[in-house]
Amino acid sequence: AQSVTQPDIHITVSEGASLELRCNYSYGATPYLFWYVQSPGQGLQLLLKYFSGDTLVQGIKGFEAEFKRSQSSFNLRKPSVHWSDAAEYFCAGGGSWGKFQFGAGTQVVVTP
């Protein structure tokens, strides 16, 4: 079945340290992939997307993600984390436009 998997449920990172969130997908063709962020009590906000082209994608808030077909991965990275990055992060994807699958989410805690 087509799906998106986020292996890490919870990550703790120190402020100023780098962050990498993992996402694996299982779609046959080049998938449509997204990363969203959800702050407490809020809806989801799009950080970045990959449809085709350059495999390194830049997003908002200093985030980037790299599409690696050979590893079926679309990991999210940020070089230096700020306390405001504490939130839940969701990877989403699909094989065609329309209905997408969301991962279970990764909760990020930022320590001083």
Partner 1 sequence: GAGVSQSPSNKVTEKGKDVELRCDPISGHTALYWYRQSLGQGLEFLIYFQGNSAPDKSGLPSDRFSAERTGGSVSTLTIQRTQQEDSAVYLCASSPEGNIQYFGAGTRLSVL
27 contributes a contact to partner 1 by CB under 8 A: no
Cα 59 to Cα 64: distance, rounded to the nearest angstrom: 6
Q: Is 102 in the site for partner 1 (CB under 8 A)?
A: yes
How far is residue 106's CA from residue 109's CA, in Å, rounded to a whole number?
Answer: 10
- At 25, which amino acid appears? Y
Decide if residue 53 touches partner 1 (CB under 8 A). no
Q: Determine which residue in the list 64, 77, 86, 100 makes contact with partner 1, applying CB under 8 A.
A: 100
Q: Tokens for 99, please give them.
A: 């209905």
Cα separation, 52 vs 97, in Å, equals 13
Q: Does 42 bind partner 1 (CB under 8 A)?
A: yes
| Residues 70-99 close enough to bind partner 1 by CB under 8 A | 90, 97-99
Q: Interface residues with partner 1 (CB under 8 A)?
A: 32, 34, 36, 41-46, 49, 51, 90, 97-105
